[in-house]
Amino acid sequence: MEIIRISSRQNDLVKFALKLSNPKYRKKEKLALIEGKKSIDAVVESNMNFKYLFIKEDNPLKNLKNIENLVFVNDEILKKISTTKTPTDAVGIIEEVAYNRDVFLNLDKIALIDSIKDAGNLGTIIRSAVAFGVDGIVLFGDCVDLYNPKVIRASAQNMFKIPFIVEKDINFIKKLKKEKTLVSMVVDSKNNFLNYKFPKSFIIAFGCEANGLSEEIVSLSDEKLTILTENNVESLNLAISASIAFALIKINSSSF
């Protein structure tokens, strides 16, 4: 472990951390910002390493073992590099987690999220997927950055507990569904979700907030289901729909 002390907000390492707030730069570097003790703890529990950990010298996190560079800073610098409005006591930089997409060929319970744009919704979906035993998540199409700080916070530190891949190739989805049933959640089907018995191995697909599932996913569907509502409620929030679906599958399906 290397120990670095920084007192100036103009330090190059501080500027580097600030750049990681930009999704394009973050993706180029394949790094992500992790903020706050709970998120830091989640990284530790997942046996991941910190390339950098920014804390004050009196923070007990300095005793962690999985740190490449321990950076002691003041409150002013922590505030500058943090993306939250409220003060944070720690900011870490980690490498992206890279899962081999072929791992997903052997998973039974997969959630496919198509072109999701809202970071809070994605984080909530991840949290619910972990809570109700989904095996993996595929982000298909043009999705919000998985490592957006809002996604990490909304996942309640659960995003490191489940495999995920970002995929734009429809041919991989075709390959994935050869041994699995693709169930698409839509708003206009007469097939009630509550009446469907999920098989042992399946993909359950949800579309983006504004436009729903893309036609290329719908056209591959083996089943199209709707969570029917009452009192003229046309549709539910995406994250709520996914959470309800995950919970009901766990309760009602012998595949769990």
**At 69, which CATH number?**
3.30.1330.30
User: Of 184, 39, 27, 57, which is closest to residue 111 (Cα–Cα)?
Assistant: 184
Residue type at 86 in one-letter notation = T
- pLDDT on residue 170: 97
Structure pTM? 0.91
Query: Rounded to an integer, what is the distance from CA 245 to the centroid of its chain?
Result: 17
- pLDDT on residue 235: 77
- pLDDT on residue 256: 41
The tally of domains found in the chain comes to 2
Same domain, 137 and 246: yes
Residue that finishes a domain, picked among 95, 119, 146: 95
- pLDDT on residue 236: 85
Q: Containing domain of residue 57, as a range?
A: 2-95
- pLDDT on residue 253: 65
123 CB-side CA count, 13 A: 16
Which residues have a Cβ under 8 Å from the Cβ of 7 and sit 6 or more positions away? 73, 74, 77
Same domain, 112 and 217: yes
Same domain, 140 and 248: yes
Which residues have a Cβ under 8 Å from the Cβ of 87 and sit 6 or more positions away? 75, 78, 79
Same domain, 243 and 225: yes
Q: Which two three-digit tokens encode residue 93?
A: 């930089």
Rounded CA gap, 39 and 35, in Å? 6
Same domain, 121 and 27: no
- pLDDT on residue 37: 85
SS (H, E, C) 100-144: CHHHHHHCCEEEEEECCCCHHHHHHHHHHHHHCCCCEEEEECCCC
Q: Where are the alpha helices (DSSP H) in the chain?
A: 12-19, 23-29, 37-45, 75-81, 119-131, 149-154, 170-176, 215-218, 238-252
pLDDT by residue for the chain (256 residues), tens only, comes to 999 999 999 999 999 999 999 999 999 999 999 998 888 999 999 999 999 999 999 999 999 999 999 999 999 999 999 998 887 999 999 999 999 999 999 999 999 999 999 999 999 999 999 999 999 999 999 999 999 999 999 998 899 999 999 999 999 999 999 999 999 999 889 999 999 999 999 999 999 988 899 999 999 999 999 998 888 777 789 999 999 999 999 987 644 4
DSSP character for 177? Answer: T
Rounded CA gap, 52 and 155, in Å? 22
Residue that finishes a domain, picked among 67, 95, 123: 95
